[in-house]
Amino acid sequence: MNKDELKTIAVIETGGTIAGTGPKGEDANYKAGELPVERILDSIPELSGKVSIKVYSVNHLDSNDISFHDYKVLKKLCERLEKDPEIDGMVITHGTDTMEESSFLLNLVLNVKKPVVMTGAMRPATAISPDGPGNLYQAIQTASSPASSGKGVLVVFGGDIYSGRDIQKQNGARIDAFSTNSFGMLGYTRDADVCIIQSPYRDHTAQSDLTDIELEEMPKVEVFYIHEESDPELLSFMLEKYDGVVMAGTGAGNYPRAIQDLIENYEGECMLVRSSRLPEVLVYPSPVFDPSGKTVPSYRLSPQKARLLLMLALKKYGKDKDKIKKCFERY
Ligand code: SIN
């Protein structure tokens, strides 16, 4: 390949199991985010002469510790690389535990059109058969493909290409840990081939109205997990303390009578979103559980994704319930 035709991909490292090290040959008992991404790239000679890589080291985190400060740093860097004519696409290496949160958040706040692809691994770099190098290779190929432009933040894992909006970690051990259930994937990779077969429908990245938000001093939003004996006193405490509460309801966003009574009589400022603890669900307005329309339904979003959207919506629109509702319908 002519050197001028080589694509240049920015590989942005944040940590995770993909950079984990531990007892040699073992899948467990490792520390995430230890190894510089250059060492993982060294183990993929297949990239040599096919793509040019520029590494940006942002963090060496276990993704459970990622914060809005880190999101702000990532946003600034990705938007700088968007304007850099030398860069064709971006790959972010990230822990799998909160990949679904970060991919969803970045999908809403990055003002970019170039491909942004996230990946990680379930096994550390010191395992007998680490999955990181294969995932990183396929993420780089995906970020090099013109078909990945304007698709929002993508996640590549185990050869599958997903929208960062819909991805969910569903297994704590298997290397195919991610899925979007029946909502489907956007495409797949095979060696260096990238095949995109669908586009995300909901607004994202450069189409989003949330890209101008300063990701600092964010509203405080927590998740209230519903079960058959959920304590209304705990929810009352949360309604006092937080700007927003997302309920991880049963079924299609349901809750016991005692919780319903509390919500029915609540006149305060805290914004309530009804989501569901099910991995696959659609939560609509409910004349049965919320006859006075006190809550905003999360539709397809999990409680952890609904929390992030509610934070962004509160930051952008304050406590304007109609505008917040529209955000959940739009994104
Ligand atoms: C992490 O999320 O940083 C650790 C777990 C993983 O990457 O699989």
Report how far residue 319's alpha carbon sits from residue 270's, in angstroms, rounded to the nearest whole number.
Answer: 8
Asked if residue 186 lies in contact with residue 197, where contact means CB atoms within 8 angstroms, the answer is yes
Please work out whether the CB of residue 65 comes within 6 Å of at least one atom of ligand 1. Answer: no
Q: How many domains does the chain have?
A: 2
Please work out whether the CB of residue 14 comes within 6 Å of at least one atom of ligand 1. Answer: no
Residues 262 and 301 both lie in one domain: yes
Residues 100 and 185 both lie in one domain: yes
CATH (domain of 234): 3.40.50.40
Residue 117 in any domain: the answer is yes
Residues 308 and 169 both lie in one domain: no
Last residue of a domain, one of 160, 179, 207: 207
- Which structural domain range is residue 77 located in? 3-207
Q: Which amino acid residue places its CA nearest to atom 7 of ligand 1?
A: 95
CATH (domain of 9): 3.40.50.1170
Active site annotation includes 180: no
Residues 257 and 200 both lie in one domain: no
Residues 43 and 175 both lie in one domain: yes
- The distance of Cα 218 from the centroid of its chain, to the nearest Å, equals 17
Q: Pick the catalytic residue: 14, 17, 119, 205? A: 17
Residues 258 and 286 both lie in one domain: yes
Residues 164 and 44 both lie in one domain: yes
Please work out whether the CB of residue 120 comes within 6 Å of at least one atom of ligand 1. Answer: yes
Q: Which atom of ligand 1 is nearest to the CA of 99?
A: 2
Residues 19 and 139 both lie in one domain: yes
Residues 65 and 184 both lie in one domain: yes
Residues 170 and 307 both lie in one domain: no
pLDDT in tens for each of the 331 residues of the chain?
655 689 999 999 999 999 999 999 999 999 999 999 999 999 999 999 999 999 999 999 999 999 999 999 999 999 999 999 999 999 999 999 999 999 999 999 999 999 999 999 999 999 999 999 999 999 999 999 999 999 999 999 999 999 999 999 999 999 999 999 888 999 999 999 999 999 999 999 999 999 999 999 999 999 999 999 999 999 999 999 999 999 999 999 999 999 999 999 999 999 999 999 999 999 999 999 999 999 999 999 999 999 999 999 999 999 999 999 999 999 9
Report how far residue 264's alpha carbon sits from residue 327's, in angstroms, rounded to the nearest whole number.
Answer: 23
Residues 324 and 269 both lie in one domain: yes
Report how far residue 303's alpha carbon sits from residue 141's, in angstroms, rounded to the nearest whole number.
Answer: 32
For residue 108, the surrounding DSSP H or E stretch is helix 99-109
Please work out whether the CB of residue 63 comes within 6 Å of at least one atom of ligand 1. Answer: yes
